[in-house]
A and B are shown apart, each in its own frame.
Chain A
């Protein structure tokens, strides 16, 4: 359904071990089962070489790797230091280059860490720079716990844009504290033109139980269209996809646009 909305990129699945992420255990069937729309990319997460090889075998034509700007988060989340993870990624980058597969890099905890608290913008810039120089074509900067505000977003982007050109940056804002759209707005004002979001705001926050996580694609598109910015996305088709997944998951949408529209 998302493939029909005009979205240019749809992150399809994750080739992480099902022991850690059981929700993505059907990664191969999903990859093989979707009807790929021409012109749309379907990147998948690949945390290590094994995952990369499995992804390629399942037909992936773009992959993503996930670094962190916080040492503690890296250790607790993927069981190694930031430096060790970057070395793992170098291995994937080499294989991806040989296979002609583009790689997107993520940096998590860019505006705060659930364990370390404040994260220095210079640390974010350092990790972003490493991923970019390794060959990632785009670096997505994630406010993993949604604590960022326009103040900290600007500070962080100023540091990162000194190391990575702004046209290779994306923002991945969580709406846990309701700040996502405001943060995205200032990122746009700083020249960022790639935004990550999730239909219906799917995905809660594992660090603040009951709180929201990803920003809702519907709400982002509503704002961008209101600003006169083109996205190529059909908002009503997007809302259909959101309604479908919420019905299936038996949960309310986290998108305010969807909530407002279905009851007028």
Chain B
């Protein structure tokens, strides 16, 4: 990396590096070619275990355990950790302690702690609890939108516009999610154009990044490619992230495909926390450990210490009394 010593590099977050070395951004975006396929030099990992993961676990985790998990993750080098969700506890009891969690965690410098805010009430509560970044959750499927958040896509966009405008006034960045990007549990196939339409709207409203979610994990590199080709026409690749579920084992090849298309932000969950509410007993989120293993193997920098993530995974799996979903953790825990 030229003038920046390796040790220093690993201590700093990506954002801090860019601040200190403005020439770095362009250098890092230069692609690394391996046999005709280009990969980014650096991938930002957005750790969603404490929110998306725990929200979808059967057992409700005590506040102290959530805080300890986030504190452990804060020490791994992960640049973004989605801490909690300010959804009504009537709908998502697992996140009822949102304010206590946000207030209780020890925020590491250079790590961001976004929280979900589905509406103005949630946004206000989040800010009151100290949130400095929020996220809104749209859907590419009308039926999913109605069943999941009780309103149409258009209605949800109006709600989000209010949140985004208020966030802008308070200089709080907003991340946008599009769920069902590669398939819907109710509608089945989702047209790529529908995904790009929703992504475009969120981006135009002011979301700095759009995370495209394969909510039920049915996507393959084939459908990922088609969907991204469509979305990239409306939203630049550097503002996109992929949020792949591993329900059909396709997450890593899907992520690889996204990287080959210039996406350089990947959502994942430590220990692959969070099952799939639409395929009982199946897995949901892709494991951060497995993603890191792949990225590091390709020579892509992440700034994350894999061994420390595995430790955090061990901790939360013990607390939940469940086995990890991460194959890397399983393999490294028991080698001869």
Contacts and interface: CB of A to CB of B under 8 A. Distances in A.
Contact of A211 (B246, B290, B334): B334
A154 to B, nearest CB: 5
A249 interface: no
A177 B34 contact: no
A185 to B, nearest CB: 4
Given A226-B250, A227-B222, A256-B247, A178 B287 contact: yes
A255 B249 contact: yes
B327 A176 contact: yes
B331 interface: yes
Contact of A207 (B220, B250, B257, B336): B336
Interface string B203-241: 000000000000001011111000000000000000000
B331 A177 contact: yes
A161 to B, nearest CB: 10
Mostly, the B contact residues are mixed
Interface string A143-163: 000101111101000100000
Q: Which of B279, B280, B331 has the most chain A CB within a 10 Å cutoff? A: B331
A30 interface: no
B249 A219 contact: yes
A178 B326 contact: yes
Contacts of A185: 221, 253, 256-257
A19 interface: no
A146 B331 contact: yes
B297 A152 contact: yes
A227 B282 CA distance: 23
A227 B220 contact: yes
Contact of B256 (A175, A182, A205, A222): A182
B34 A154 contact: yes
A179 interface: yes
B35 A260 contact: no
Contacts of B34: 150-151, 154
Which size class do B's interface residues fall under? 35 or more
A211 B330 contact: yes
Contact of A178 (B247, B248, B252): B252
Contacts of A230: none
Nearest to B295: A149
Interface in B89-124: none
B297 A179 contact: yes
A24 B205 CA distance: 64
A174 to B, nearest CB: 10
Interface string B176-197: 0000000000000000000000
B222 A226 contact: yes
Interface string B288-332: 001001101111000000000000000000000000001110111
A110 B278 CA distance: 38
B334 A208 contact: yes
A260 B247 contact: yes
Given A151-B34, A226-B220, A259-B281, A181 B253 contact: yes
Contacts of B326: 178
A208 B334 CA distance: 6
Contacts of A154: 34-35
18 contacts: A146-B331, A149-B293, A150-B34, A176-B331, A177-B293, A179-B252, A181-B253, A185-B257, A189-B35, A207-B335, A208-B330, A209-B335, A211-B334, A219-B249, A222-B249, A223-B221, A259-B282, A260-B217
Interface of B: 34-37, 217, 219-223, 246-250, 252-253, 255-257, 276, 278-283, 287, 290, 293-294, 296-299, 326-328, 330-336
